Amino acid sequence: MNKKAKVLPIVILLALFGLYYFYNVNLAVTLPDEGWGRASKVEGASKYPMQQYSFTKNKEIHMYLPSDDQVRYTITDQNYKTIKETVIPVSIDVDTPVWGDGQRFFYLQDKKLQLYENGKSTLIDEEVHSFYPTNENILYWNEKEIYLYETGKQKSSVLVTVKDPISHVKSADGDGSILVATNPTPLDIQFYLMEGKELNELYAWSSSNNATIENILYDSNGQEASILIETFKMSQGERTNNANLITFNPKDFKVNGDEWMLFTDGSNGARLANPRYFNMRYLDGKLELLFVSEGQREGKKSGYNVYFANTKQDGEWVGFRRSTSSDTSLSPMWAGENHILWQTYGGKQYQTYGTFNGNGYVESSMVKTKEDYRMALYDFISGVFSSLIMLFFGMIWVIPSLIFYTIMMFLRKEEFENHKGWIEPVGILLYVGTVLYVFNSVLSDSLFSMAPDYLTFPNSMVIWPLVISAVSYGIYKLVTNKDMGLYAGISYYIGLNIVMMTGLYGPYLI
């Protein structure tokens, strides 16, 4: 065997693997959805899950980002470039609400509602379970009493007292209406709408499968109102998340629906199971949702992504991915109409990311970075190792030809040793036929669904193996000596074919 015959398979394999590496580089800058940019990292992290607050003003994003012993007040432009950053030297309770307007900052510390303003903290009230901002004031509550803190007067007053423990109090951004949820029992919720200091009974809801109520969201546009209830249930160490959506007319309190929500991925039709970390709003009269679910990312990757949904198809909400961060996503929220923020957790810290649908931001987010090349290399190495499974299939492909040549070696020994013209092509055809059969029966298009389009077009599972077989045969005839034995020559052809199939298809096999 000459040098060319030895080197050429290695060169071909390296070329095909190089093609796979650049495929991963291009995947690294894939947008989450058409018209939305890749994620931008916002400075600041915490060891514990912290609720955040953000708003937009004069085309700037204002973010209050609590960490372990301080709060970072960050102002960025629309592309998440930092304009100004201030540290508020207060520690807040884990996973409790915060609110600020650029001058004042409200937070909970040891169940004490406090206001930070002009460099100092002022105590508002004690034994506070939680609070929620209205347009100008603050609603807060303990077990059975709801208070209103008037920011202009810096004064608190009792709004209403209820008989059952308070679960949630929410103020609608759309019309300012206030929803109160109480727990007659741990599995039951009684909803009220507050008018002045009066509570109007709205709807009673019960958990049908003994699931734990995790969160309640509410918004209204004045014509339609929605309540979203997040629940979860543990069974044998497995957590199942679900969501119910209650819609009603805020004018006559008539409930129009109580829906068990189902979600699908708008990019591939897959079910988005266990949705969690919801956010909800009405925009231009239409209900919009943000949530987290496990789904497909770029190429063969999957993970917990942030999704956006505002339409239904066949009774299911259709979600479109918004996040491109690599770690587990959680707690998405809007900052103004067109910016989305969320947190990620990678095992050590909670980090904040954001995205935007502005044209300039989308274009700039597609510029390749050192991190993109690093991740592409990591994915490349992972894909190369996974491609080795093609060698296993190669052992299957060769069996019929091996049996045929073994029989011929005993039955037609003279012809085999002189490798008459018909023995070689019959063995090759047996091999190619086996490849086609295995590719289209044992393997399938779905196992290569993450491969690029040039490998997944209609009938590609037939066309490409035939093309590779023809190219392999041409190279085999070109680089091998005429006096090479039949067995050695066919072994070279099959080995070259398996190398090419491994390099072309192997890395994309799921």
What's 57's domain CATH number? 2.120.10.30
Res 483: pLDDT = 66
Res 78: pLDDT = 95
Q: Where does the pLDDT of residue 407 fall: very low under 50, low under 70, confident under 90, or very high at 90 and above?
A: confident
User: Do both 386 and 502 map to the same domain?
Assistant: yes
* Torsion region of 125: left, alpha or beta (phi above 0 gives left; psi -120 to 50 gives alpha): beta
- Choice between 423 and 359, residue whose per-residue pLDDT is larger: 359
User: Do both 423 and 462 map to the same domain?
Assistant: yes
Question: Which tens digit of pLDDT belongs to each residue from 308-341?
Answer: 999 999 999 999 999 999 899 999 999 999 999 9
CA distance linking residue 39 with residue 481, whole number of Å: 56
Res 450: pLDDT = 78
Res 418: pLDDT = 65
Domain that holds residue 18: 3-25+378-508
H/E run at residue 449: none
User: Do both 72 and 19 map to the same domain?
Assistant: no
222 within a domain of the structure (yes/no) = no
Question: Which tens digit of pLDDT belongs to each residue from 118-129?
Answer: 999 999 999 999
Q: Where does the pLDDT of residue 112 fall: very low under 50, low under 70, confident under 90, or very high at 90 and above?
A: very high
Res 416: pLDDT = 64
User: Do both 10 and 121 map to the same domain?
Assistant: no
Q: Do you know the residue count of the chain?
A: 510
179 within a domain of the structure (yes/no) = no
Give yes or no for residue 378 having a pLDDT over 60.
yes
User: Do both 393 and 504 map to the same domain?
Assistant: yes
pTM exceeds 0.85, yes or no: yes
H/E run at residue 330: strand 328-335
- Choice between 428 and 414, residue whose per-residue pLDDT is larger: 428
Give yes or no for residue 185 having a pLDDT over 80.
yes
Q: Where does the pLDDT of residue 489 fall: very low under 50, low under 70, confident under 90, or very high at 90 and above?
A: confident
> Of 184-198, 407-421, 470-484, where does mean pLDDT reach its minimum?
407-421
Give yes or no for residue 403 having a pLDDT over 70.
yes
CA distance linking residue 210 with residue 191, whole number of Å: 19
Strand partners, 56: 61
277 within a domain of the structure (yes/no) = no
The domain total for the chain is: 2
Average the pLDDT over 427-441 and give the result.
90
Give yes or no for residue 278 having a pLDDT over 90.
yes
Q: Where does the pLDDT of residue 468 fall: very low under 50, low under 70, confident under 90, or very high at 90 and above?
A: very high
Res 1: pLDDT = 62
Closest-CA residue to 110 (of 89, 96, 131): 96
Q: Could you say which of 120, 140, 161 is where a domain stops?
A: 161
CA distance linking residue 136 with residue 388, whole number of Å: 63
Q: For 338-349, give the DSSP string.
A: TEEEEEEE-SS-
Q: Could you say which of 114, 139, 161 is where a domain stops?
A: 161
Res 245: pLDDT = 98
Average the pLDDT over 217-227 and give the result.
95
Quote the mean pLDDT of the chain.
91
Average the pLDDT over 352-359 and give the result.
95
Res 415: pLDDT = 66
> Of 159-173, 277-291, 445-459, where does mean pLDDT reach its minimum?
445-459
> Of 258-267, 270-279, 424-433, 439-448, where does mean pLDDT reach its minimum?
439-448
CA distance linking residue 504 with residue 17, whole number of Å: 8
User: Do both 386 and 504 map to the same domain?
Assistant: yes
444 within a domain of the structure (yes/no) = yes
Residue 15 half-sphere exposure, CB side, CA atoms within 13 Å?
9
Res 173: pLDDT = 86
Phi, psi (deg, nearest 5) at residue 311? -135, 160
Average the pLDDT over 34-56 and give the result.
92
Interstrand relation of 263-265 and 316-321 (parallel, antiparallel or unpaired): parallel
**Cβ distance 36 to 357 under 8 Å?**
yes
Average the pLDDT over 15-32 and give the result.
92
416 within a domain of the structure (yes/no) = yes
Average the pLDDT over 193-219 and give the result.
90
Give yes or no for residue 190 having a pLDDT over 60.
yes
- Choice between 19 and 196, residue whose per-residue pLDDT is larger: 19
Question: Which tens digit of pLDDT belongs to each residue from 451-461?
Answer: 888 888 888 88
- Choice between 240 and 448, residue whose per-residue pLDDT is larger: 240
Q: Which amino acid is at 499?
A: V
194 within a domain of the structure (yes/no) = no
